Amino acid sequence: MKITDVVKTIFNTKTDDITCDECFEHIDEYVDMIHAGQDPSEVLPQVKSHLEQCRCCEMEFRALISILEGEIDHADSG
């Protein structure tokens, strides 16, 4: 992570931001909403904001999306 990324994160932090633990509590719901074609940023804006700022949680989010897409591809081919 570059120092400019750290500075951006600091200045983009809001008082209503959630922690990684709080993000993790809702990330399954967030991914499920995306899979259902819904916009989770309307229901879970704090999760969206956290994912934009936290590389670790964003990587977890991408992993869950990949797993879900893999399960769908596997079900479609079987």
Query: 22-47 pLDDT, tens per residue?
Result: 999 999 999 999 989 999 988 999 99
Q: How confident is the model at residue 69 (pLDDT cuts 50, 70, 90)?
A: confident
Question: What pLDDT score does 76 carry?
Answer: 57
Provide the domain count of the chain.
1
DSSP single-letter state for residue 15: T
Task: List, in sequence order, the alpha helices (H) in 1-78.
Answer: 3-12, 20-35, 40-43, 45-53, 55-77
Find the domain containing 30 and state its range. Answer: 3-9+18-77
Region 1-7 average pLDDT = 62
Instruction: Note the pTM of the prediction, 2 decimals.
Output: 0.69
Compute the average pLDDT of residues 52-72: 89
Q: What contacts 24+ positions apart, CB below 8 Å, involve 15-22?
A: 16/46, 17/46, 17/49, 17/50, 17/53, 18/46, 18/47, 18/49, 18/50, 20/50, 20/54, 20/56, 20/57, 22/46, 22/50
